Structure 1
Amino acid sequence: MAHEPKLSAFIIKLNSIGRNVEKTNRNLFKNKIGNTSDNLEDSFIFLEICSKFIRTLDTEQMYSDESTKKSMTANQLDIENDDINTNIRFHSTSYIIEGIVEGGAYGKKRRKTSTTNKHLKSEVTERDAITDDFYFLIYTPLESDKSILLIQSYTDDNIDSVMKKFWKNFLTHPSLFRQPSITKYIPKNIIEDFKNGATISNLTYSTEIPSTSLLGSSIDFQTRNFKVTVKIEPTKDGITYSEFDEIITPIENSMFKNLRLGVFNKKKGALKDNETGKSSPFQLDNNFAIKPSIILSKYITINHDDSDFIRIKDYCFEILENIKQEVYPRNAVQER
């Protein structure tokens, strides 16, 4: 599965400073645009935030996350003229920003060589990003303190870290709102699909261990850490969901150099879809809950060309409706 489009969903929850701050997107947005008047139309507030969003992201310099060496940018000409084929669209009545951003990895010095003429070469510096197009959608209902973020990426490349960093910094305001929390969310229908039609093909645990713990104190190996990875893989059939519930606790309690696998820093695995035969990665959280990736080819046609983004957009709007029903209970009282 070299370059398969996949989708991740996240819930963004505002983090107000003090109990007296109205914890809603409306209050945050009004303060960010510098107009807290009570008679503002919601559509005006949202479009002003959209303008601020574009001014923040569509700059000469790409927005970067140094810790993961990922960057992204928008290439937007106009946010109001419908005659212009913009990459990002703003839906003022439904409070949705969606579209395509350019992003990718940087930080490695490499050389680019033509496959048809090996003598045609060019340098790729550490400040050059190898980019691709990625679709995203964010739904920000003004009366709520929660937003839904959908990020399309690929099995071999993603911009999740830099996209989340952007929204963490954007959805803040001095003295009123700290950085929000962003947590991964798996829609219930995706979880049911996994339960009914997928098996676990492997589990992988990794962490860093000091040399003294790994090698013992009798060996003088200076003070350094070693990355240790433990992979658990059934030799025949994969592990079903019901079997997983039975075996995960004994696996987590297994010991390596006096360390339980359960305390390892990173825990992940791979799911094999029995219908399509394709595998996809998943993260395992501290509650043993499997969070599978949404491999888009299971739900829409993927041609590996620009036409995919039309179907990805349609699917995102469809799955957004499912998530809204799960995340926003009817008649919910807003926190203040």
Structure 2
Amino acid sequence: MATNAKLEFYRFKLNHKDQEFKTFRDFAIDELRAGRNPSDEKVTKACFTHFIQSLKSDYAKDENLKKKIGLEKKRSINKYIDKGPSFNSADSIISGVINGGPYGRERIISNNDDEDDSTTLGINKAVLMYFYFFAYLPPDHNEGFFMIHSNSKDESITSIFRNYIVNLFRSTKYRKPVAESFCPKSFQDEFKNGAVLKSMTFKSTFVDTVHTTDGISNLMQEYDIRIEAIPKNKTISGNSAKAFLSKLSTKVFGSRSNERALNEFDRTTLVLGSAIGTSQKSFEWNTKDNEFIPVVYLKNRITNENADGTPDFDELKQYCETIFKDEILPEIRPDLNATRA
């Protein structure tokens, strides 16, 4: 694909202030005026309406990131308006193409066909692009799931969209949920098979609280440390990376007053490369769950693309629906597997 399009997956649980298990049906009753005993269709429709209406709320915009998300409803402007958000109550899914992008900078819009036809773009004007999302909000359960596509590091709304989703389910009775990165085991296995370990990077922020007479030391009481480990053995397989990382993670870095093992660093990234060729795949090591979280690139998964370099949204929708049904749902809803058995 012309862009470096990818998918990122997240799961989250409703977080009621008084009760441990509250379903999306409960949330729709408590917060969305869905009635006393709403049907699955009414719950999904209420969540969908909540999603769409909240695109005009404050948390659809992030002043720190200088990005916003929304939905341009003018057909003359939004070329993918027919692929916009919709809901499927039978499967408890909300999905579609939304708009998002950066604002906050003075820019110039230049017309390539007419160099004299240029206009300015003020700091309150956003440059909106197209992004596909897919969300699962089951009425009978307390855990939801969503995936969001991005085109590159710069063409991304992943952070603001993640915050947007969890804020949708925060209220006077519900605390804001925590969205955790997720990837089905089949994807993890696919990424690890046939690849070799290229490098590991550990990054963390250190804070020194010991005051000294050294002025420079007192100025540098907080700093980021980044350690990169590149194995001399070029044949360590992706499947062996876990054991190699576990051994290396016990190494200690820092001063006596501020020692920290590598497995206690805030972020750990592994780079696996194909044993043949130069392609690389990035993994984030989740020490909490002992899993790889790969970056799932859409190249060779989505065969067609739009003229603007984004993936063909019809094909992407079909792909997301398929992997959700075949790979993701069985992992996040094992109770459904038991019921069907």
What's 2:99 paired with?
102
CA deviations over 1:246-271 (Å, ceiling 9, x no partner): 32134323344334333332222323
Q: How does 1:308-319 map to 2 (within 5 A)?
A: 308-319=312-323
Could you say what secondary structure the match of 2:128 adopts? Answer: strand
- The 1:101–1:236 alpha-carbon spacing in structure 2 relative to 1, beyond 3 Å, is farther
1:248 to 2:249 alignment: no
In the superposition, the TM-score normalised over structure 1's length comes to 0.81
Quick one: which of 216, 222, 225 aligns to 1:220?
Answer: 216
Quick one: which of 282, 287, 302 aligns to 1:300?
Answer: 302
Shift of 1:289: 2.6
Q: How does 1:135-146 map to 2 (within 5 A)?
A: 135-146=132-143
Checking the alignment, whether the CA contact within 8 Å between 2:197 and 2:270 is kept in structure 1 is yes
Checking the alignment, whether the CA contact within 8 Å between 1:75 and 1:87 is kept in structure 2 is no
- The 1:208–1:302 alpha-carbon spacing in structure 2 relative to 1, beyond 3 Å, is farther
What's 1:70 paired with?
67
Could you say what secondary structure the match of 1:45 adopts? Answer: helix
Checking the alignment, whether the CA contact within 8 Å between 2:48 and 2:86 is kept in structure 1 is no
Checking the alignment, whether the CA contact within 8 Å between 2:67 and 2:160 is kept in structure 1 is yes
CA deviations over 1:51-98 (Å, ceiling 9, x no partner): 2221111x39882233443321122479xxxxx825112112222110
CA deviations over 1:187-225 (Å, ceiling 9, x no partner): 121011022122332222223345888xx8635365243
User: Which segments of 5 or more consecutive residues in structure 2 lack a partner in the other structure?
Assistant: 76-80
Q: Distance in 2 between matches of 1:255 and 1:240?
A: 25
Checking the alignment, whether the CA contact within 8 Å between 2:24 and 2:43 is kept in structure 1 is no
What's 2:78 paired with?
none
Q: Distance in 2 between matches of 1:125 and 1:231?
A: 41
Q: Distance in 1 between matches of 2:215 and 2:115?
A: 48
1:87 to 2:84 alignment: yes
1:28 to 2:27 alignment: yes
Task: Work out the number of aligned pairs and report it.
Answer: 323
What's 1:154 paired with?
151
Shift of 1:144: 0.8
What's 1:320 paired with?
324
Checking the alignment, whether the CA contact within 8 Å between 1:272 and 1:279 is kept in structure 2 is yes
In the superposition, the TM-score normalised over structure 2's length comes to 0.80
What's 1:263 paired with?
264
Quick one: which of 28, 31, 43 aligns to 1:45?
Answer: 43
What's 1:16 paired with?
16
Checking the alignment, whether the CA contact within 8 Å between 2:67 and 2:102 is kept in structure 1 is yes
Could you say what secondary structure the match of 1:8 adopts? Answer: strand
Quick one: which of 332, 335, 338 aligns to 1:330?
Answer: 335
User: Which segments of 5 or more consecutive residues in structure 1 lack a partner in the other structure?
Assistant: 79-83
Quick one: which of 185, 189, 205 aligns to 1:188?
Answer: 185
Checking the alignment, whether the CA contact within 8 Å between 2:5 and 2:311 is kept in structure 1 is no
Shift of 1:7: 0.7
Shift of 1:143: 0.6
Shift of 1:273: 4.1
Checking the alignment, whether the CA contact within 8 Å between 1:112 and 1:121 is kept in structure 2 is yes
Which residue type is aligned with residue 263 of structure 1? E
Checking the alignment, whether the CA contact within 8 Å between 1:65 and 1:161 is kept in structure 2 is no
Could you say what secondary structure the match of 1:237 adopts? Answer: coil
Q: Distance in 1 between matches of 2:233 and 2:128?
A: 39
Q: Distance in 1 between matches of 2:246 and 2:311?
A: 44
Q: In angstroms, what is the RMSD of aligned CA positions?
A: 3.5
- The 1:76–1:94 alpha-carbon spacing in structure 2 relative to 1, beyond 3 Å, is farther
Shift of 1:129: 3.7
